[in-house]
Structure 1
Amino acid sequence: MKNSPWLVIGAGAIGLFWACKLEKLGYKVHLVYRSESPGKRITLESFTDEGGTQEVISSKHKVKIFLAKELTESYDKVLLCTKSFDLADAFNQVSNYITPDADVACLCNGLGAQEILQESIQNSQTLWAGTTSEGVLKVDVNHIKHTGLGDTFFGEWTPSDATKVFPIESLTVKNIRQRMLEKLAVNAVINPITAIFNIQNGDLLNEEYKPLIKATLDELADIFTHPKFCFIQESQHLTSDNLRNRVNTIAQLTRLNRSSMHEDLRLRRQTENNYISGFLINNSPITLPIQQLLYDGVEFEEQREEVKKKLLSIT
């Protein structure tokens, strides 16, 4: 299996990072890009080594690059690193080059896109949903900075009777939906608030945002612990205190970072709003006035200033 190449879809920060990581692990990597070509060599700049030592390490990683229409080989290992709204379309563009027994993995924010992708793949293929806390910043088309060490896990999106292992065995977990819900909860606070208020992650810890953060966390806890929530078995541990600890920790660890949704709004790109706040609103058994405000503030620029006032007036 290691002799066959990985097909990595997406040349954003995470796609380039995983192309480098897989190449470092000894795999051949074929990278599909959509618009700008990253070239055959990717520069990975790390500020910490694997042991956490603070130093700058720069390395070059050689990969083959393609547009989707240029593919000719068949692949049994695929990693999709796209935005949630692009996930199924990206797969469909390369599906003719994926073997019937392939492992198809995805790394994207939020929930909802995985279910759509599951419907697109063959029954004989295995969908692995992933979540990562690696900090990566794209500074050029072929240059990324690894700004923070993190963990990455993959698990079967639809568990099968057979015990399957992800092609990189050390990354396999059985409770992937729980881990993804934990990340969704954090994203549902940090992403929309930093985007709407145009602030860095660490600013969420400032006194002026404390009432808003508390109210947002309490509302999320009401969903995740509600007996009629569709993922209650995987989310019931997400109480207000649990969520508060998670959000405070991530905000502190990434205090100088800007969330992906913040950058999407700043650069006037489509956001993953529908797969974060939108997913919660559409799947909640109770009304979510704060998540609705956050959704509207991200989605509708003309409402943003009014939304800010309402959010800051929450006590």
Structure 2
Amino acid sequence: MKNTPWLVIGAGAIGLFWACKLEKLGNKVHLVYRSESPGKKITLESLTDEDGQQQVSVSKHKIKSFKAEELTDQYDKVLICTKSFDLKNAFSQVAAHVSDQANIACLCNGIGAQAELQNILLETQTLWAGTTSEGVLKIEANHIKHTGLGDTYFGEWQQTTPAKSFPIESLTVANIHQRMIEKLAVNAVINPITAIFNIHNGDILNEEFKPLIDATLSELSNVFTHPKFSYSQESQHLTQENLKNRVNTIAQLTRLNRSSMHEDLRLQRQTENSFISGFLLENSPIELPVQRLLYDGVAFSEQREEVKKKLLSLS
């Protein structure tokens, strides 16, 4: 299995980054793109070294790129780097080329799409859910910029006994659901607020947004610490103070970045709103008026100005 190629699905910033990373680790990589071919070489521009120090370096990576219908090989290692709403469909397009014993990993925001994918896999295939905080920007079809170091973790979506190990060493965690809830909590603050108000991540720390951030964090902590929340075992530690520290840290580290939801709204693309605020609204045992406003502000452009006023009047 070690010498067989990885199949990376998705030629966005994260897909291209992981194609380069896997190739750098000595793997053969085949990349599936949908609309714009990255060609045979991907340029990875890094602004930091492995220790996080500022140091610009440029590397070129030979990656074979295909459209889904052009595939001929069988793959036992698959990494899907698409938006949440594309996850199931992206896999369906390559499923005939995935072995019955394959490890299938996904890196996407929010929660909900993973269960949809699990439902169409064979019992003999293993789904690995992942989270990443790597900062990556796509400059051109074959050029990405690694703007900030982050952590990436993978875990079995459905835990087995004995537990399995992810095909890449040191990335396996025992409870991926906890990591995903922690990331969802941060995304449920930063993504919709930056998208609705058209601001950079760091701007949410400005004084004008303090009442809104406090109200959002208070509401989220009430969900995550509620005994009837569907992931309560993984989320009890997410108190308001804990959440505030997490959001402040990420907002500071990525202060000049624009969230993915911000960019999706700006470019008039479909967002992952349903898998972030939408997931919380569907799974919360209590009413979430702030998340409802955030969800509506992203989902309905005609309501956005009115939603802004309501959000800024929260205290």
Q: TM-score range by the shorter chain?
A: over 0.9
- Fraction of identical pairs, as percent: 76
Query: Which residue is equivalent to 2:35?
Result: 35
Alignment check: 8 A CA contact 2:186 2:247 kept = yes
Secondary structure in 2 matching 1:170? coil
1:207-286 equivalences in 2 (<5 Å): 207-286=207-286
Displacement after TM superposition at 1:174 (Å): 0.4
Gaps of 5+ in 2: none
Q: In the alignment, is residue 185 of structure 1 matched against residue 182 of structure 2?
A: no
Secondary structure in 2 matching 1:4? coil
Query: Which residue is equivalent to 1:293?
Result: 293
Distance 1:261 1:120 in 2: 27
Distance 1:56 1:126 in 2: 37
Distance 1:279 1:51 in 2: 35
Alignment check: 8 A CA contact 2:80 2:107 kept = yes
Superposition misfits of 4+ residues, deviation over 3 angstroms: none
Secondary structure in 2 matching 1:244? helix
Distance 1:303 1:109 in 2: 24
Secondary structure in 1 matching 2:136? strand
Query: Which residue is equivalent to 1:9?
Result: 9
Alignment check: 8 A CA contact 2:6 2:76 kept = yes
Q: For residues 219-256 of structure 1, what are the alpha-carbon distances to aligned partners after superposition, in whole Å with 9 as ceiling and x for unaligned? A: 00000000100000000100000000000000000000
Displacement after TM superposition at 1:54 (Å): 1.1
Distance 1:157 1:164 in 2: 11
Instruction: In structure 1, give the amino acid aligned to 2:191.
Output: N
Q: For residues 93-141 of structure 1, what are the alpha-carbon distances to aligned partners after superposition, in whole Å with 9 as ceiling and x for unaligned? A: 0000000000000000000000000001100000000000000000110
Q: For residues 76-103 of structure 1, what are the alpha-carbon distances to aligned partners after superposition, in whole Å with 9 as ceiling and x for unaligned? A: 0000000000000000000000000000
Q: For residues 237-290 of structure 1, what are the alpha-carbon distances to aligned partners after superposition, in whole Å with 9 as ceiling and x for unaligned? A: 000000000000000000000000000000000000000000000000001000
Instruction: In structure 2, give the amino acid aligned to 1:78.
Output: V
Q: In the alignment, is residue 87 of structure 1 matched against residue 87 of structure 2?
A: yes
Distance 2:278 2:157 in 1: 20
Alignment check: 8 A CA contact 2:52 2:148 kept = no
Alignment check: 8 A CA contact 2:7 2:75 kept = yes
Instruction: In structure 1, give the amino acid aligned to 2:16.
Output: L
Gaps of 5+ in 1: none
Query: Which residue is equivalent to 1:123?
Result: 123
Query: Which residue is equivalent to 1:166?
Result: 166
TM-score between the two structures when normalised by the length of structure 1: 0.99
Q: For residues 158-207 of structure 1, what are the alpha-carbon distances to aligned partners after superposition, in whole Å with 9 as ceiling and x for unaligned? A: 00122200000210000110000000000000000000000000000000
Secondary structure in 2 matching 1:15? helix
Secondary structure in 1 matching 2:167? coil
Instruction: In structure 1, give the amino acid aligned to 2:78.
Output: V
Distance 1:52 1:112 in 2: 32
Paired residue total: 315
Secondary structure in 1 matching 2:249? helix
Instruction: In structure 2, give the amino acid aligned to 1:290.
Output: V
Distance 2:206 2:90 in 1: 39
